[in-house]
């Protein structure tokens, strides 16, 4: 099964997916291979990770679209282009792993039912950017004692869509933001693989 991964930065979650495609690891067990890594940010370290793993990469910044198309219309043009490029790789699954660009229907409609996203918060709690910082803030204000992460199907509404797998992450009173981020990223590296495997197993069953 063919997987495309979209990244914007460090790519630690991409690395978890790459490691899981090694023989006798979870993604290898569902016959999945990463065929392409796309970054909207030139120089993202995740691109190096992909190259080191002999995976094809594509760096596609929205710069020229933002410069040549006035207003928010650049999004539809950019998303359509990226959607075509990703669709050309004939993926069975598209994983957003540390991808920091909201995708509109112009992208999603080209890959119906194939896009999943990792978000470092529980369903409906801290949708959107800076989720970890916002959870830590809520903890300091005594509003929550735990946060969490999830892998979900991507629909146009940001960080919504049917949840595939989720996991609570505890916060401790002596935590710093860095300690919490460390705990969340460690949990993400496991959950993103679990989410992709769950999705692909279901796909295999549907095709059986
Ligand atoms: C992760 O917390 C991810 O959930 C968020 O971006 C962070 C960095 O991910 N979207 P990565 O190290 O680039 O995979």
What ipTM goes with this model? 0.91
- Per the annotation, the verdict on 152 as an active-site residue is no
> Could you tell me whether strands 57-59 and 33-39 are parallel, antiparallel, or unpaired per DSSP bridges?
parallel
pLDDT band, very low/low/confident/very high, at 31 (cuts 50, 70, 90)? very high
CA of residue 155 relative to chain centroid, distance: 13
pLDDT band, very low/low/confident/very high, at 207 (cuts 50, 70, 90)? confident
Residue 115 burial (CB < 10 Å; 0-12/13-18/19+)?
A: buried
Give the pocket of ligand 1 (CB within 6 Å): 7, 9-14, 46, 97-98, 118, 120, 185, 188
- Ligand 1 atom 2, closest CA: 120
- Ligand 1 atom 7, closest CA: 98
Ligand 1 midpoint to CA 187 (Å): 11
Contact between 27 and 55 (Cβ < 8 Å): no
Question: What pLDDT shows up at residue 208?
Answer: 83
pLDDT band, very low/low/confident/very high, at 114 (cuts 50, 70, 90)? very high
Put simply, whether the predicted model's pTM sits higher than 0.90 gets the answer yes
Mean pLDDT score, 85-113: 96
DSSP 3-60: EEEEESS--HHHHHHHHHTSTTSHHHHTT-EEEEEEESSTT-HHHHHHHHTT--EEE-
């Amino acid at each position: 099964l063919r997987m495309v991964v979209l990244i914007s930065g460090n790519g630690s979650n991409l690395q978890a997916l790459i490691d899981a495609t090694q023989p006798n690891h979870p993604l290898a067990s569902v016959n999945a291979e990463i065929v392409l890594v796309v970054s909207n940010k030139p120089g993202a370290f995740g691109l190096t990770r992909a190259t080191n793993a002999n995976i094809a990469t594509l760096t596609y910044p929205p710069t020229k679209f933002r410069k040549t198309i006035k207003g928010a219309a650049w999004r539809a043009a950019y998303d359509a282009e990226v959607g075509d490029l990703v669709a050309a790789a004939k993926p069975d699954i598209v994983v957003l792993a540390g991808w920091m660009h909201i995708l509109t229907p112009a992208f999603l409609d080209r890959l119906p039912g194939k896009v999943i996203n990792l978000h470092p918060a529980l369903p409906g709690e801290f949708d959107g950017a800076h989720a970890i910082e916002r959870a830590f803030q809520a903890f300091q204000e005594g509003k929550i004692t735990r946060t969490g992460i999830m892998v979900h199907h991507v629909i146009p509404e940001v960080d919504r869509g049917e949840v595939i797998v989720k996991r609570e992450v505890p916060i401790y009173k002596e935590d710093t933001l860095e300690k919490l981020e460390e705990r969340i990223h460690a949990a993400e590296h496991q959950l993103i693989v679990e989410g992709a495997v769950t999705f692909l197993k279901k796909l295999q069953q549907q095709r059986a």
